[in-house]
Amino acid sequence: MLDLLPLSYVLHIKHKTVPLYFPRDTKSMFFGTYEANEINPFLDAFDIHDTKGEVEIGPFKIKMIPVNHRIATVGTRVETDSGTIAYTGDTAMCDCLIDLAKNADIFLSEATYQERDRERTKEGHMTAKQAAEVAMKANVKKLLLTHIWFEYDKRESLKEAKEIFENTELAIEMHEYKYNKRIKKIKNKRI
C-alpha cells in the first residue's frame, strides 16, 4: 500500500487519475496514512471505489479475501477466460488461502521465512514450506515464491518448497509469466 504514496504524488503533479478499489477494512488504513503524512491533496490522483471484495474490470474478475496479517490485508485472485492467478499478499498461514489459490494456474505466494524460523510466522508471514503446502492443497499448477527475507539464501527457500510442491520457482523481478493451457506449463521470459 505504501507504494501508492509516490504514485499519487506523480499522478497529482501530472493531473492524472487512476481507479483505486478498496476491499473491506483497508480503506481507513489508506486514508490514515495520507492524513498522518499531511498529503491529503494527493488523494485527487485516485478515483476511489469501495468493494465488498469482488469486482469485475473488463475481462478480469477480481476477488479480494482477507488474510492473516497484523494489519488489514487481502489476498487477490484474478480470473479471466485464459487463466487464474492468485496472490497472497503478506499473510501467515490461514484456511482462506486454500480458497484463494484453488485450481489457480499461477499462485504467487509470500515466503518470508524458512522452516528454521517457523515460530516467527505469527508476525503475519509464512515459510516457503507453508506456501508449498497451500499450493498442494489448493491444486495449483505453478507456485512462485516471493517476499523472501533478505537474510535468507533464496535457493534454500526454493528447496524447502520443492520438497512439498515440485512445480515451484522463485519469482524474478521483471520476468513475465504466462500459463499456456494447451501445453500445460508456465513460460517465463525476461522483459
Which domains, and CATH codes, for the chain?
Answer: 1-52 (no CATH), 53-190 (3.60.15.10)
> 24: closest CA among 46, 56, 51, 49?
51
DSSP assignment of 58-93 = TTEEEEEEE-B-SS--EEEEEEETTEEEEE--S-B-
Q: What is the pLDDT of residues 65-117, one digit of tens each?
A: 999 998 878 899 999 999 999 999 999 999 999 999 999 999 999 999 999 99
Residue 6, pLDDT > 50, answer: yes
> 163: closest CA among 187, 127, 191?
127
SS3 118: helix
Residue 191, pLDDT > 50, answer: no
Residue 102, φ and ψ in degrees, nearest 5:
-45, 115
CA–CA gap between residue 90 and residue 73 (Å, rounded): 7
Q: What is the pLDDT of residue 48?
A: 86
CA–CA gap between residue 140 and residue 75 (Å, rounded): 15
Q: What is the pLDDT of residue 124?
A: 94
Residue 125, pLDDT > 70, answer: yes
Residue 23, φ and ψ in degrees, nearest 5:
-95, 135
Q: What is the pLDDT of residues 129-164, one digit of tens each?
A: 999 999 999 999 999 999 999 999 999 999 999 999
Q: What is the mean pLDDT of the chain?
A: 89
Using pLDDT thresholds of 50, 70 and 90, give the confidence band for residue 183. very low
| CA atoms within 13 A of residue 82's CA, in its CB half-sphere | 7
Q: In this structure, what C-alpha cell is assigned to residue 91? A: 499473510
**pLDDT, average across residues 39-44:** 85
Residue 49, pLDDT > 50, answer: yes
